[in-house]
Amino acid sequence: MQTCTLAVDIGASSGRHIVGTVQNGKITLQEVYRFENGVHRENGHLCWDIDTLAKEVVNGLKAAHDAGFAPATIGIDTWAVDFVLLDADNKRIGDAVAYRDERTEGIREALEKEYGLTFADHYARTGIQYQPFNTVYQLMALKKEHPEQLAAAKTFLMVPDYLNYLLCGVPANEYTNASTTALVGADSRDWDDALIEKLGLPRGIFQPIKTAGTVLGHLTPDIQKAVGFDAEVILPATHDTGSAFLAVPARDGYAAYLSSGTWSLLGVENAAAITGPDSCAANFTNEGGYEYRYRYLKNIMGLWMIQSVRRELGEKTGTRPSFPELIAAAEKACAEAGVKALVGKIATGDLFVGDSATKAAIEAKCAPDCVEMEGAAVSQIAAKNGVPCVILRAMSDNADEDGHEVLVVKKFSIGEYVATATKIVAAMVESL
């Protein structure tokens, strides 16, 4: 058995188990298990199948062991804002309602009218942007619809907190994810007791906030028996973006990042929260980061559209299209459109190739069929989220000193390219 660490990364569309080992001073990562995730309608709400998620976490641990790995530590990260409640017997209360559910409509306005809490005041306390799905609005919606559930609750756990609890039996709220509830003070970095009291929420359900790096405990005997080994459960930054930022090769304090999944998050990390009126008006957020830093960011459109297309195609055909199917559909669509198509290797990078020397160096290193500047980012994010993708590129120049003539002298028609690309993509979708 090879000793390793094991990371469980769960997003809105899929989850994966990755083992990490250190060999010759370098970290090596290997995916050992992947599973689907998504929402379904239950009792009138969009919900996560939290029980299946929990089973898949355990299945992935066993898969790692069966592959010859002996994880010494386990860490789980997921998306933010969503939660479960446990009763006095540590049994889950109600469903794990997803942030995409419409139950929070009108809740923000209700907080102003019924509780005298304006968003400006709320933002000044917590630094969290307005999103209708923020945990605080979900809790207030639950209080309105099912007050009996809050009354019976003894423990509040966010999704990764709950999965950790099932693994080791220790309830805890991790800081980076807890900050997204809009119930944690931006300056105190702890539960805002006055705010919780003002909203009439039960303070006792919220657990002590733990920081990333905290060792929660060992796997329970039942989990050890199921997976074939014991390991320590350690808190990473359980908000996936909080963990993702740690991998950003930032060279200074001004580095920006774009983390893309179902959502894309664009921002920087700061040493102090920015909660003034200008920041409030711009609706930037101050989510907790590693070592009590602040991820100052905006939520923007991510891969939700791509995921939706893939899902809808799967609903029509019974299966979601694979990579070979997408490539075959693209070839067929190009042929029908009268476009010469080449299936091959694309080199991608962060510079425009416009000289023979650079071109020769790239050819010598990886012998690509073409060069472009965007595909790697799209492919990486698609792979991260388990979304098959195909990249269609139109050749515009020969990647040499004469390339500018295509753009300046020939003045090709963007409209023609767009029309052709649209025709090809439409044909692909129809064939799939």
User: Which of 165, 385, 348 lies closest to 261, judged by CA?
Assistant: 385
- Strand ranges in 318-395 using DSSP code E only, listed in sequence order: 346-348, 370-372
Q: Which of 240, 355, 400, 402 is catalytic?
A: 240
Closest Cα partner for 78 from 12, 172, 168, 18?
A: 12
Whether 240 is a known active-site residue: answer yes
Residue type, 354: G
Strand partners, 84: 157
SS (H, E, C) the chain: CEEEEEEEEECCCEEEEEEEEEECCEEEEEEEEEEECCEEEECCEEEECHHHHHHHHHHHHHHHHHCCEEEEEEEEEECCCCEEEECCCCCEECCEECCCCHHHCCHHHHHHHHHCCCHHHHHHHHCCCCCCCCHHHHHHHHHHHCHHHHHHCCEEEEHHHHHHHHHHCCCCEEHHHHHHHCCECCCCCCECHHHHHHCCCCHHHECCEECCCCEEEECCHHHHHHHCCCCEEECCCCEHHHHHHCCCCCCCCCCEEEEECCEEEEEEEECCCCCCHHHHHHCCEEEECHHHCEEEEEEEECCHHHHHHHHHHHHHHCCCCCHHHHHHHHHHHHHHCCCCCCCCCEEECCCCCCCHHHHHHHHHHHCCCEEECCHHHHHHHHHHCCCCCCCCCCCCCCCCCCHHHHHHCCCCCHHHHHHHHHHHHHHHHHHC
Look at residue 377 and give its three-state secondary structure. Answer: helix
Q: So which residues are the catalytic ones?
A: 240
